[in-house]
Structure 1
């Protein structure tokens, strides 16, 4: 039973975050290489815009904003799951190598397989998921100890090792590719929000629409998995089954996000921490907040990054790394 005062606090925090996201969206709509006057945003949204204004807002800005929000939310929920599974505050889909696994899958698909333009957008999340899942399976096997089951701390160390190995493999794969394709992969690796078009939204939205509610449904299981093994087993939890299901969910969320947003790290690390600091460690309470914090963080980073150096800007992945790397070091020193 959650005390009503805690639920009121959660609703207040969610309301504040929604207002913050709304304000950031408005700022993001007006800023850019082709700026739109803030006085014209509402008329354009109501259908009273010029061809240029309609094109800038509906074909360029809004798809990018929606993709960025969805990717940030997915990464935040994925990071929350991984931190609960590993019982480690440093866990993140980028740090554990899951994003790298998705990247390898997408790079191989893009460089070496014939691509039909119509199905390319919808294939990317599936290809990224396959690469990330294969990586997660190997990480799981290396972190599994017979008789003791999955070792959470070992999972983190193995994941970091895989992340480094896959980064090296990526360099080998792209070293002999065509220049144009290498440029695309390089932008993907830097966390450039390249999938800024409506088809990418329809491609990743079903993944999130299914997996985020499923994670919220499993919130109590995550609470138990965050405790030590004897306690979780004592209340009748099937440890390995739940870990596999939730790991599968975290992998799918991460892969769907990076297929459109590129190699984004640290969102899955920071968002759960901020949410827990605001409302506490109970998953039913902090998961919705972490999801909104992740979406806002990535949107904020992308808005700042794309307006720093015109016209190309700075990739959102670089901006999140500039924020997240010092925070990661702080966590290392504190823990």
Structure 2
């Protein structure tokens, strides 16, 4: 009887997960279609279709293939990367209010990028592919510092302490960034300001090529470690009882979260709240099991960023606002709501 009940419950969860993934996929496709038609130069749906099949004009092909589609793809990749990174960190810290931005990992990646653009021109050919590596170094150093300061020998990783340390480290890094502004040229300062606001500044296929390999490599590893993340989410003692190698699994998953956040920051700038909101919404939709929570978080994050980017390009035409501002407008009230509901 109990076995039958568990099996029936599991089947319902799987059906719900499949339904949620299907609905999210449809919403993402619809958002992509709307985004392709949105911009200062409007393309009618029929013109978009003709351009996609190769029957558009040279101007339409330039707008769609050289400007809008790369940005749409980057929005999807950044949203998925930030969301999965946030999901991992929330599982490791056992705190639904954790995310890469709140813990200072995004700031660490950003500091490395700002150091790079301060001393080298961002238009150099190799800079596009070098920046994700530099962001990873900055994010890794920050994550290591937060981990060391938050870890107690006999108590393990303390979630509350981890958040407080992350906020303090992020504040220190932000101060260092402000100091770097003093030596920037006007052109680099403009880039810095736009980047800090969370503008998706990489709008060609080179940035897609620079970001995509990171996600292709890290996503399968994280999905493979979903059961280990479930165990770690229960606490160190229970995880050890279930046979998990706590320190090894935590280090690997934290490295994966840092890699995702760092590479996304390098291309998308300081877009916040995605790593917080997307996993939390996905958890409400599909439950806490990371086998389905991780992909659901990626779908929700991708949908959130592409909708925010479309609104950023549409709301104040012919001008546009940074995508990070739109995400913040959505995320800040939701974050306050989570704080009011947390114990």
Give the structure 2 partner of residue 13 of structure 1.
20
Aligned equivalents of 1:308 and 1:176: distance in 2? Answer: 34
User: For 2:150, which of 140, 143, 166 is the aligned residue?
Assistant: 143
Q: In the TM superposition, what are the counterparts of 1:1-335 in structure 2 within 5 Å? A: 3-113=10-120, 117-335=124-342
Aligned equivalents of 2:249 and 2:157: distance in 1? Answer: 12
Query: For 1:262-317, what per-residue CA distance to the aligned partner results, in whole angstroms no more than 9, with x for missing partners?
Result: 11110010111111111111101211111000000000001001111223311110
Aligned equivalents of 1:230 and 1:108: distance in 2? Answer: 41
- Cα root mean square deviation, aligned: 1.3
Q: Any unmatched runs of 5+ in structure 1?
A: none
1:197 deviates by 0.8
Q: Any unmatched runs of 5+ in structure 2?
A: 1-6
Aligned equivalents of 1:4 and 1:329: distance in 2? Answer: 35
* Conserved 8 A contact 1:105-1:130: yes
SS in 1 for 2:43: coil
Aligned equivalents of 1:71 and 1:269: distance in 2? Answer: 14
- How many residue pairs align between the two structures? 335
Aligned equivalents of 1:230 and 1:144: distance in 2? Answer: 15
1:38 deviates by 1.2
* Conserved 8 A contact 1:305-1:315: yes
Extract structure 1 runs of 4+ deviating beyond 4 A. Answer: none
SS in 2 for 1:118: coil
SS in 1 for 2:201: coil
1:115 deviates by 5.7
SS in 2 for 1:3: helix
1:114 deviates by 5.8
1:6 deviates by 1.8
Using the size of structure 2 for normalisation, the TM-score is 0.95
